[in-house]
Amino acid sequence: MRKTKIAVLVSGGGTNLQALIDAQGSTLVSGEIALVVSNNAGAYALERAKKAGIETAVVLKKELGSQEAFEAKLKEILTEHGIEVIILAGFMTILTESFTACYPKRILNVHPSLIPSFCGAGFYGLRVHQAALDYGVKVTGATVHFVNEIPDGGEIIAQKAVEVLPGDTPEVLQRRVMEQAEWILLPQAAETVCAQLNKQTN
C-alpha cells in the first residue's frame, strides 16, 4: 500500500513527534514519517527521530542569514525526500506565505487551545495555557489546523476539548491538554489528510 511521505518540523523536546511515531501502524497507516527537520541543532526531538530510525536534518536561519534563505533550504530538503505532507510539531518559526503557498492543505499544525481562543501571533507554549487560566475558561483543548500565512489562521481539521480543573497551573494544564488532546488528535488528523491524498493520487 502506498504511504504518503510526511516530514515533521520540530524545535524542542518532540513530544508530539513521539505521539506520531508511536501511532505509525495503528492510527497512522496511510502515511509514514520519512524525515524530521529541526531549526535547533540541540532539539531532543532529533534524538527521538534517530531512535526510531527516521532521517533527520537541521536547518539554521542564523547560518543562512534570512527567512527567505531558510525557507528555500527547507523546501530543497523536503523536495529531495519526496515529502508530501508537513506536520509542525512545536516548530518555533512562523513560515511565510511564499513557503505555505507551495503546500496548500499539506501543512498541519497542532495548537494547544480551541481556536479561535488564545491563538495567533505570540500565543505558543505555556503562554496559551496561562491565557486560558487568566481568562477563567472552564474548557480548553487542542486544535489541528492547516497552516497558511496567518498564524493559527488556517482551516480547522479537528478539535478536542479538555476540562480546566481548579488549582491548575499552566504546566499542569499543558500536560493534560497534551495527553488528552494533542497526542490523540495529531495522529488522527495526519491519517485523515494522508488517506485523502492517497485517494487523489491512486
- pLDDT tens series, the chain, 202 aa: 889 999 999 999 999 999 999 999 999 999 999 999 999 999 999 999 999 999 999 999 999 999 999 999 999 999 999 999 999 999 989 899 999 999 999 999 999 999 999 999 889 899 999 999 999 999 999 999 999 988 899 999 999 999 999 999 999 999 999 999 999 999 999 999 999 999 887 6
| Bridge partners, residue 162, by sequence | 140
Name the residues annotated as catalytic.
111
CB 161 within 8 A of CB 114: yes
For the entire predicted model, the pTM comes to 0.95
Residue with grid cell 530538503, as numbered in its chain: 77
Q: Tell me the helix, strand and coil percentages in the chain, rounded to 5.
A: 40, 25, 35
The conformation of residue 25, written as its DSSP 8-state character, comes to: T
In the DSSP assignment, the letter for residue 185 is H
Among 88, 46, 39, which residue's Cα sits nearest to residue 64?
Answer: 39
Q: Return the pLDDT at 201.
A: 76
Q: In the chain, at which residue ranges do the beta strands (DSSP E only) sit?
A: 4-10, 31-38, 55-58, 85-88, 107-111, 139-146, 156-163
- CB atoms under 10 Å from CB of 60, counted, come to 12
What DSSP designation does 28 have? B
User: Which CATH architecture group holds 4-201?
Assistant: 3-Layer(aba) Sandwich (3.40)
Task: Dump pLDDT digits (tens) for 98-153.
Answer: 999 999 999 999 999 999 999 998 898 999 999 999 999 999 999 999 999 888 99
Phi, psi of 102 (to 5 degrees): -75, -15
Which of 18, 71, 11, 62 minimizes the C-alpha distance to 41? 11
